[in-house]
Chain A
């Protein structure tokens, strides 16, 4: 039986000539776990919202959407609200009430459910999601991952048959995201809930799903099981950049095997077919040493007098002109390091030097005057004005002159409200704003959070451009793929101390668990190939060597 179907759906927003969705048709059989992928702005969100009557945007629409063979418009309000669940991107803003149990009850209350039934359902769902101990808590105290699980639970409590999710893991760290996706998969397997998920964090979800919908320019161009669809996909498709390393590798090399979806499949099916005369690329030339931009030695920090040390005997050096990535799990102290370097927090022991000068010797604003600036994780907090133009003008009236060398064309962003920009554009506008204070050391907190593959690439280009102008960049990130591709050096932070630091090739080759997918795929076949590009290069070299 089909749970959801679209028939020649065309949607046009008021005062727009081009439709956002044109002639979209697809069918989801019940119990399917389907993923929509497509570049930003291809209409994923609009399509999902069209499938949920309560969230349908103001628009003119032709064609039909059918839920269990009934047109969406003719559904009973209770069925539409209860049987079709919707989870959005922002974990915090979807929560309505100030208690976890009340949040779970909210949907049932709206349907007028009997209190005794509610009591049972809440107990059931809390036990299934493992959140019983959180029932009395205020959602504001929960972690991002817990909040998003709560959002999922408060939709699941209404026992929907269809679940629509719009980038639910974009704001989560990798571990919470994997948790969330595993829970989704379990719901799909245990209750045969039909799932339609828009996502750009495809590494984890592709091996779990059983249908892929590829969207381009407002229409679904392909729908198939992941294996078939990914094999047929054009090699120049922009979506490919966000695919799992195994898929990208297969597309680059086109070997004689089915397209692998996971690391395991790539290791067992694809790698044995690769030539292995040469097993390592020549080592990259060592970066010439420069003066240190940041020197921390033996630093200790804690937030409360009787709390635990967040930074514990931390020592590391960042050389000027470097792009340094600090990685590590949750609570390792990554963001705290940045707050110490930005002068927001102060260590109680140890020595912190910036450009050779002790941090406490920077008086008044001199630490931030042409020296250090910190771009926080939530870039929205950087903006205070109504347009991008005002935002930049606030710092420097002649900003266009000073941003002449900025490696990105800001013009389209300037007339818009910063909150209306996409996540990637916000990141770049915020970068431009902080660059106006002419820093020599740029501190970035999770700059790739919530960005799709293309925006990440664009951000990396901007960062490399700034680096070429001599700016030192220290970024903390969960995104090890980004670190492997773009960092000069990576440092691994654990329990407030730096465990190891090296260039990415050696750093990720030596890590067994905390490492990139490409490194896990090629381990034992090749040495120090930590990116898909490196593997491809090495295979080509092998071919050249045997060809001659």
Chain B
């Protein structure tokens, strides 16, 4: 009974990145519309009613792009009206709207992605690149926290001694510099102890293995395979030019071949995977409860 956010981070990353990258490299209005709707559905599924400001900003964007694009884009043939003797064309308006939708969709995908990827999951992904790098990442995160804590402690201590006037620019600056310089000494001193502690536990004596709580379960492999297959299908369709639109001088949609619809369907499934997954789990839960 895992929610999408609890699935293996590598599978989740592959899925979300494919979905987002296709959105970035494609200019097909229907595909982008599907992408945006699915992205919003996914975001709301994760967050509920929170982040209203984000929604307003992200949805406002297509409108803004649509209205502004014709001002500096003179292509297109269907003139709506003139501003300062410049044509304001329907094609440019449409193109702007599509660009805006693309941007909004990408924003939603990436916002959801950054919400899902806690430092722990990032750490897990780093392991694929290099286990050493992953350890350094983990240590860096820890040291930043320690550094900040110690800085706060020193500041408080110095305030308790009443050595520096607060709100006095030169004193503040002088104090800040000294705190920073002693922090460096402190960090070095600490580093030695940490290095000792690492050596004492056998760091560097041989090939390291790497531990993680994340495992590959059936659902993860399914998600990964589905993402790769669907993603490949869509990419192939785009590469073959099945989704090519012409916006200027006159808007010409892609040919409505069976391949066109197949690619759109494949992308729809890809983008909707999280929602499908969540729905399936919810149904399963309900059925199990009823059985009791």
Please state if A110 and B201 are interface contacts (CB–CB under 8 Å): yes
The residues of A that contact B150 with a CB separation of less than 8 Å are 381
**Selected contact of A78 from candidates B200, B206, B212, CB within 8 Å:** B206
Shortest CB-to-CB span from A427 to chain B, Å, is 14
A52 to chain B, nearest CB (A): 6
- Minimum CB–CB distance from B292 to chain A (whole Å) comes to 28
A419 to B, closest residue via Cβ: B189
- Whether the Cβ atoms of A158 and B162 lie closer than 8 Å is no
Chain B: minimal CB distance from A419 (Å): 6
A510 sits at the interface (CB 8 A): no
Question: With an 8 A cutoff between CB atoms, is B236 at the interface?
Answer: no
Query: Which of chain B's residues have a CB closer than 8 A to the CB of A383?
Result: 182
Q: Which listed residue, B141, B165, B179, B206, touches A365 by the CB 8 Å rule?
A: B165
What residues of B have a CB within 8 angstroms of the CB of A99 in the complex?
120, 138
A384 with B161: CB separation less than 8 A: no
Q: Is B115 part of the contact surface with A, judged by Cβ < 8 Å?
A: no
Query: Which residues of chain B have C-beta atoms less than 8 A from A52's C-beta?
Result: 200
Which residues of the partner chain A approach B139 to less than 8 Å between Cβ atoms? 96-98
Give A100 Cβ to nearest chain B Cβ, in Å.
11
Once the chains bind, are A81 and B145 in contact (CB under 8 Å)? Answer: no
Q: How far is the CA of A82 from the CA of B199 in the complex (A)?
A: 11
Decide if B159 is an interface residue (CB 8 Å cutoff): yes
**Inter-subunit contact B162/A378 (CB<8 Å):** no
Chain A 101-129 per-residue mask, 1 if CB under 8 angstroms from chain B, else 0 = 11001111111111100110010000000
Residue pairs across A and B with Cβ atoms less than 8 A apart, 13 shown, are: A81-B202, A85-B200, A93-B193, A95-B194, A97-B138, A101-B211, A110-B205, A111-B202, A111-B206, A112-B206, A119-B213, A381-B150, A443-B160
Q: Which residues of A contact B160 (CB under 8 A)?
A: 338-339, 342, 344, 373-376, 443
Question: Is B86 at the interface (CB under 8 A from chain A)?
Answer: no
Which chain B residues lie closer than 8 Å to A178 at the CB level? Answer: none
In the assembled complex, which residues on chain A have CB atoms less than 8 Å from the CB atom of B218?
none
Q: Does B157 contact A (CB under 8 A)?
A: yes
A133-151 interface mask toward B, CB cutoff 8 Å, 1 = contact, 0 = none? Answer: 0001011100000000001
A373 to B201, CA, bound (A): 42
Interface residues of A in 361-412 (CB under 8 A from B): 364-365, 367-369, 372-376, 378, 380-386, 395
Interchain CB contact under 8 A, A93 and B211: no
Q: Collect the chain A residues with CB atoms within 8 Å of residue B141's CB.
A: 98
Task: Report which of A81, A94, A437 forms a contact with B193, defined as CB distance below 8 A.
Answer: A94
- Interface flag for B209 (CB, 8 Å): yes
**Is A112 a contact partner of B208 (Cβ separation < 8 A)?**
yes
A109 x B156 contact (CB < 8 A): no
B159, closest chain A residue (CB): A344
Given the known inter-chain contacts A365-B165, A368-B162, please indicate yes or no for A102 contacting B211, CB distance below 8 A.
Answer: yes
* Contact assessment for A105 and B211 in the assembled complex, using a CB-CB cutoff below 8 Å: yes
Q: Confirm or deny: B279 has a beta carbon within 8 angstroms of a beta carbon on chain A.
A: no
User: Which residues of chain B come closer than 8 Å to A253, judged between CB atoms?
Assistant: none
> How many chain-A residues does the 8 Å CB contact rule pick out?
74
Q: A224 interface residue, CB < 8 Å from B? A: no
CB contacts (< 8 Å) of B142 on chain A: these are 95-98, 138-140
B209: nearest chain-A partner, CB-CB? A112
In the complex formed, the residue of A with least CB distance to B135 is: A97
Beta-carbon contact of B209 and A109 below 8 Å: yes
Query: With an 8 A cutoff between CB atoms, is B222 at the interface?
Result: no
Measured in the bound complex, the distance between the Cα atoms of B162 and A96 in whole Å is 35
B124–chain A nearest beta-carbon distance, Å: 11
Using A118-B209, A118-B211 as known contacts, say yes or no to A368 and B161 having CB atoms under 8 A apart: yes
**B196 & A98 in contact (Cβ 8 Å cutoff):** no
Chain B residues numbered 194-234 whose CB sits less than 8 Å from any CB in chain A: 194, 196-213
List A contacts of B200 (CB < 8 A). 52, 54-55, 81, 85-86, 155
A77 contacts which chain B residues (CB < 8 A)? Answer: 202, 205-206
Q: State the CA gap A90–B149 with chains docked (Å).
A: 16
B residues near A119, Cβ cutoff 8 Å: 211, 213
A331 to chain B, nearest CB (A): 18
Task: Point out the residues of chain A lying under 8 angstroms from B158, CB to CB.
Answer: 381-382, 384
Contact with B along A462-481 (1 / 0, CB 8 A): 00000000000000000000
A154 interface hit (Cβ, 8 Å): yes
Contacts of B138 in A (CB 8 A): 96-99, 102
Report Cα–Cα, A261/B185, bound state, in Å.
43
Residues of B within 8 A of A375 (CB): 160-161
Contact of B145 among A85, A98, A376, A417 (CB under 8 A): A98
* B190 contacts A by Cβ under 8 Å: yes
Q: How far is the CB of A449 from chain B (nearest CB, A)?
A: 14
Question: A158, B201: Cβ atoms under 8 Å?
Answer: yes
* A373 surroundings in chain B (CB, below 8 A): 160-162
Taking a contact as CB atoms under 8 Å apart, the answer to whether B149 and A113 are in contact is no
CA of A136 to CA of B120 in the docked complex: distance in angstroms?
9
B205 contacts A78, C-beta separation under 8 Å: yes
Contact B201 A419 (CB under 8 A): no
Which one of A95, A109, A374 contacts B211 once the chains associate, using CB atoms below 8 Å?
Answer: A109
Alpha-carbon distance between A119 and B203 when the two chains are bound, in angstroms: 19
Flag whether B111 is at the interface (Cβ < 8 A): no
Within 8 A of A (CB), among B80-134: 119-120, 123, 131
